[in-house]
Amino acid sequence: MSYTIQDVQEELSVVGEDIEKYIRLNKIKVAKDGSLSEKSYQTLLDLFSDQESKHNGHKNSKPVYDLIRHKIEEKQKPVFESQDQRISLFQDDAISFLKSLPAASVDIIITDPAYSGMNQRLKLGRGKIIGKYADAGKNGAKWFEEFHDTEENYRAFLQQCYRVLRNNRHIYIMFDSFSLLSLAPIARDVFEVKNVLCWDKANIGLGHYFRRRHEFILFASKGKRHLNSKSIPDVWKIKRVTASQYPTQKPTEVFELMLKGSAEKDFVVCDPFVGSGSSAIAAIKSDCKFIGCDTSEKAISVSKERVKEFLKTKTDLYQKSSLLGDDETMTKLFFEWQL
């Protein structure tokens, strides 16, 4: 794929002359016909975003968020935006939403996609899997609409994640055991995969071939970035949400731990599969900004209600109490070590 100077201009909202200056100064390769390869394009965006950070004197400077806001307003309005404009929710498809964001505009991606593989292939009993069917998605999806596990679709998703993520930043993507084997390897082509973490749910769930008690979290980076602490283990024992009001709702603590590892105050956190909004609650608790989307109307109405109430009263309507179990390291991480 190749890009033109105009593509960069549109992406960054800067004038062509500035871009040409950057190309000359940084000796970025340009083809004879003036086009840029994927690599040159990405290098240019990264350099520009680094320069912008320095110019603004702080890497979490508000203008970057304003830039997102400006772009968003041109394209679509959020379904929900908090009064202080730090939290925005959109009803959209993950790839189309990410495409609507400018390059290098978010500081961390924490997400839990609705993979179709596990649901379609690992059926129990008479073909049914766990969960309520009231909110079934289109095309035979069991609970909500699923994100199709084709390599092409997943690669397009990862490439958009890479594009919107600022340089020297982290991404966390949740995986079930099925999608880990089929899709996670593609992440290596796009990001620097650093580790695969294990979320130990403490209690067993359903499953014919060993009862399921864990999920995976792929941890990767764009560029170089250390974790905030060297004391976080790669197995996270946090209890599952029981009797959840939204299918597949995750404990906020799982997302909080990702942010403890990789975020700073005022980071723009992005979750393109927001579901019930657990990642948004984690972002608020960690003093971060948040931008997220979901295709489902139900998810957006649940997360909107949840975020609004949490901002107003600090009450989490969908997770009434802490899901930290008796694991000493987890308790220490949460209670003795503040971000």
CB 295, min distance to ligand SAM, A: 4
* Cβ 312 to ligand SAM shortest distance, Å: 20
Nearer to ligand SAM, 148 or 225 (CB): 148
By CB under 6 A, name the binding residues for ligand SAM: 93-94, 112, 114, 144-147, 246, 248-250, 272-273, 275-276, 278, 293-296, 299
Q: Using an 8 Å Cβ cutoff, are 291 and 88 in contact?
A: yes
Residue whose C-beta lies closest to ligand SAM: 275
Question: At closest approach, how far in Å is the CB of 52 from ligand SAM?
Answer: 28
Residue 55: CB minimum distance to ligand SAM, A? 34
Q: Which is nearer to ligand SAM, 94 or 270 (CB)?
A: 94
Cα gap 229→339, rounded to integer Å = 10
- Between 11 and 146, whose beta carbon lies closer to ligand SAM? 146
The Cα 193–Cα 187 span in angstroms is: 7
Conformational region of residue 338, where left means phi above 0, alpha means psi within -120 to 50, and beta covers everything else: beta
| Least separation in angstroms between CB 122 and ligand SAM | 15
Structure tokens given for 198: 């294990």
Question: Could you give the CA distance from residue 196 to residue 185 in angstroms, rounded to a whole number?
Answer: 11
Q: What are the E-state strand segments in the chain? A: 2-3, 36-37, 80-81, 87-91, 106-111, 165-175, 192-200, 214-222, 235-237, 268-271, 289-294
Looking at the Cβ atoms of 224 and 320, the one nearer to ligand SAM is 320
Between 10 and 297, name the residue whose CB sits nearer to ligand SAM.
297
